[in-house]
Amino acid sequence: MSTENLVDMLRTHPFVEGCRPEHIEKLASMAARVQFEKNAIIFREGDESSFFYLLFSGSVVLEITGAGRAHRIQTLGKGEELGWSSMTPSMAKKFQARVLEPVTALAFDGARLRRACDEDCAFGYAITQRLLQTISSRLQATRMQLLDLYAPAKMGAPGKPGA
């Protein structure tokens, strides 16, 4: 895919909203357009792989497997980011990402992206700011998930009147 097409494609993703044009171009120059088919594993637990993805279509589920079960923690889709931890040095993936619906994405090599951030601080800051946003909303959502708000009430809940 030509660079101009990549820039156009990248521009449509919410991640780069508000970015300076030169930063978008810089990011596009590191992008590779990728596609994953249904059920493909984008990365596995323990992978040292360092790709950061911007998703344009389809959906991905984050899973942790154990004792013969796969716990599905969160799904991500169009307009979202996957693999932000690639931006941190040598962080092995803690879970796996499996494709639910065929995915089209732009992939960025984490190491290369990090180097570009080191060299161009303004660019680095713009990327880091956005990643912070991603992590923040991911954390917030995870915390809310932890609350298990729809769980049935436990017996003997505090303040419960006697039967």
Partner 1 sequence: MVTNLPAIGTQFVIDLPALDGVFASLRRRGYEVIGPTVRGPAIVYDAIEGVKDLPQGYTEEQEAGVYRLQKGEGAALFGFVLSPHSWKQFLHPSEVRLFAAERDGQTFRILNSPPPPPPRAFIGVRACELAAIAVQDRVLLGETYSDSVYQARRRGLFLVAVNCTRSAPTCFCTSTRTAPPAEAGFDLVLTELAGPDRHIFIVEAGSRQGAEVLAEVEHHEATPSEILDAEAAVKAAKDSISRKLNTAGLRELLYEKFDDPRWEQVAQRCLTCGNCTMVCPTCFCTTVDESSDVANQHAERWRRWDSCFSQNFSYIHGGSVRMSAKSRYRQWLTHKLATWVDQFGSLGCVGCGRCITWCPVGIDITQEAAALRADEEIAIAKGDAL
Partner 2 sequence: MPAIEIDQEQSRLDNMHPLAARVAQVRKDTPDTFTLTLEPEGEEPLPSFLPGQFSMLYVFGVGELPISISGDPQEQGTLVYTVRSVGKTTHALVSLKVGDTVGVRGPFGKPWPLKAARGKDVVVVAGGIGLAPLRPVIYYILRHKADYGRLVLLYGARSPRDLLYQKQLESWARQADVQVLTTVDYGGLSWHGHVGVVTTLFRYIRLQPLHSVAMVCGPEIMMRYVAWEFEARGLPPGDLYVSMERNMKCGIGFCGHCQFGPRFICKDGPIFTYREIGSWLGKYEL
Q: Which residues pair with 55 in a beta bridge?
A: 105
Residue 71 near partner 2 by CB under 8 A: yes
Give min distance, CB of 36 to partner 1, in A: 41
Give min distance, CB of 59 to partner 2, in A: 8
Block residue for tokens 């323990």: 46
Query: What track of x and - describes contact with partner 2 for positions 76 through 115 (by CB under 8 A)?
Result: -xxxx-------------------xx--------------
Residue 14 in 3-state DSSP? helix
Distance CA 84, CA 13 (A): 15
**Looking at 3-11, 88-96, 105-113, 141-149, which segment touches partner 2 (CB under 8 A)?**
141-149
Residues that bind partner 2 (CB under 8 A): 14, 59, 61-62, 70-75, 77-80, 100-101, 140-141, 144-145, 147-153, 160, 163
